[in-house]
Amino acid sequence: MNCFRKLPGFTRTPAGLETRVLRKLPAIALFGTIALILPSIVVRLLEWGDVSHAALTRIGMVDIYVTGVVVLHWTVVFTAAIFAFIVFVMKGPAYVADAYALVDADKPAGEGRS
H/E run at residue 13: none
Give percent of the chain above pLDDT 90: 47
| Alpha-carbon span 47 to 44, nearest angstrom | 5
φ, ψ for residue 95, nearest 5 deg: -115, 150
pLDDT of residue 109: 63
- C-alpha 81 chain-centroid distance: 3
How far, rounded to the nearest angstrom, does the alpha carbon of residue 46 sit from its chain's CA centroid? 36
Radius of gyration of the chain (CA): 27
pTM above 0.85, yes or no: no
pLDDT in tens, 5-44: 777 777 777 888 888 999 999 999 999 999 999 999 999 9
